[in-house]
Amino acid sequence: MEQKKEIKIEITPEIAAGHYSNLAVISHSAQEFFIDFVTMAPNMPQAKVQSRIVMTPENAKNLLFALRDNLTKYEQTFGEIEHKLPKGGKPQGGGDLPNPFQA
């Protein structure tokens, strides 16, 4: 039987504080995926990239599976995450945040 190797992960206080992001822009080349985490405010003409993560396609796919697994566990514990729209079901003009994950 194989033993799992434990990896000790260190996090500095600056990194532990984190960055808020309400938008992710994803692009790729043949060798890497680029994920820019952005903070966008309503009615502002410009948004700021808070962090850029570059990873291999294999690791991007592993991230996809890990996010899917964690979202499933979250929803089993707290209930389904619903996409919120203003009353009436139509997005309001001017302050909308685009959803880059919708086709």
Mean pLDDT by 10 residues, the chain (103 residues): 84 94 96 96 91 98 98 97 80 54 48
Domains contained in the chain, number: 1
Q: 10 in a domain, yes or no? A: no
Q: 6 in a domain, yes or no? A: no
pLDDT of residue 42: 87
Q: 44 in a domain, yes or no? A: yes
pLDDT of residue 101: 54
CA neighbor of 23 nearest in space, from 2, 41, 5: 41
Q: 101 in a domain, yes or no? A: no
Cβ neighbours for 81, distance < 8 A, ≥ 6 positions apart? 71, 74, 75
